[in-house]
Amino acid sequence: GGGYDATFRIWRGDASGGELQTFTVRVNEGEVVLDVIHRLQATQAGDLAVRWNCKAGKCGSCSAEVNGRPRLMCLTRMSTFAEDEPVTVTPLRTFPVIRDLVTDVSFNYEKAAQVPAFTPRPRDPDGNHRMQQVDVERPQEFRKCIECWLCQDTCHVIRDHEENKAAFAGPRFLIRLAELDMHPLDVVDRRDAAREEFGLGYCNITKCCSEVCPEGIHLTDNGIIPLKERVVDRRYDPLTWLGSRIGRR
Ligand code: SF4
Ligand code: F3S
Ligand code: FES
């Protein structure tokens, strides 16, 4: 019981173009958007392309835009929509479409490959690595990232400006830099890379990335802002500079 017929509008097409197609599809109690997409595949659109894996919000595969908002389809409950409200599902806008709801997210893997790798300091003479618990906990939040790319899709710096992609890595990789930067064993200084290769300065702290993260990671407050603070070297602080000039007179 409890089922109803919903109107779904799904973007169908490929790199050369496409359009929204409208379907009427059965929805059962307790279902999520991905369940309905699967029913559509099984009953009306056998060739609908959609990427998914875990159906549990853990693999990061089923990212799409539902009514224009970046979401994991497997975590988006149908009960959040009115029964007579059309549900529109479109591919991630920031990445090139391959087909239907599947986008080419290789931009993210290219940026990932550019992150200077974790480089631990030598072990203590007894062969152990020692860390304070408090230092271990700080970067731990960022380890929850499932690489769904919803933050990357949302950030206006690349969502609305294709030309920025070369210079800006996106929020997921800024928090990856922050995570490594906070790691108590790591010895690499990534401040220049953050500024120059990853485009940290492009982020103007709109916090949209933090709002869409399905893992609830506070990307901006706990990762990007602290990284910005670390990168602002004393040499570039106008007050310090002024102080040193006045002192010299
Ligand atoms: Fe997804 Fe959050 Fe990771 Fe961004 S930080 S890729 S939104 S899990
Ligand atoms: Fe983009 Fe997040 Fe900064 S949305 S502008 S990376 S705070
Ligand atoms: Fe794995 Fe949705 S299917 S996160």
Tens digit of each residue's pLDDT (9 = 90 or more) over 134-188: 999 999 999 999 999 999 999 999 999 999 999 999 999 999 999 999 999 999 9
Ligand 1 binding pocket (C-beta < 6 A) is 145-151, 172, 212-215, 217, 219
Mean pLDDT of the chain: 93
The Cα 176–Cα 217 span in angstroms is: 12
**How far, in Å, from the CA of 76 to the mean position of ligand 3?**
11
Ligand nearest to the CA of 50: 3
Tens digit of each residue's pLDDT (9 = 90 or more) over 4-37: 999 999 999 999 999 999 999 999 999 999 999 9
Ligand nearest to the CA of 147: 1
Predicted TM-score (pTM) of this structure: 0.92
